[in-house]
């Protein structure tokens, strides 16, 4: 645990994989996803109509890419988004 929050260590199989699927299909409030930009995550390049469908977290010589199924639009407030 980290300051009363869960922390997650990778399994041996996850450490050797090129894709993490443990969290695939999980849903969370969209404001929490947007808030990751304040924690070192970089929003993906806006696509059609300004929608962002991924975020990237640089990790030294590696990067973690999170695909966001429903995406969100540039400039939208968290209150406007559905989770």
Q: What is the DSSP letter of 11?
A: P
Phi, psi dihedral angles at 16 (to 5 degrees): -95, 0
User: pTM (2 decimals)?
Assistant: 0.68
* Domain segments of the chain as ranges: 26-80
Note down pLDDT in tens along the chain; length 83 residues.
556 777 788 899 998 998 888 888 888 777 788 889 899 999 988 888 788 889 999 999 989 899 888 777 777 666 655 44
**CA angle centred on 46, ends 45 and 52, rounded to 5°:** 95
Please choose, from the candidates 46, 48, 66, 47, the residue with its C-alpha nearest in 3D space to the C-alpha of residue 56.
Answer: 66
Please choose, from the candidates 82, 76, 66, the residue with its C-alpha nearest in 3D space to the C-alpha of residue 25.
Answer: 66
* Beta-carbon count within 10 A of 49 CB: 8
């Amino acid at each position: 645990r980290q300051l009363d929050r869960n922390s997650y260590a990778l399994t041996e199989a996850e450490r050797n994989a090129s894709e993490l699927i443990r969290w695939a299909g999980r849903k969370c409030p969209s404001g929490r996803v947007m808030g990751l930009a304040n924690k070192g995550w970089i929003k993906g390049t806006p696509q059609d109509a300004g929608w962002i469908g991924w975020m990237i977290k640089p990790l030294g010589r590696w990067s973690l890419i999170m695909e966001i199924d429903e995406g969100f639009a540039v400039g939208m407030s968290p209150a406007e988004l559905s989770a």
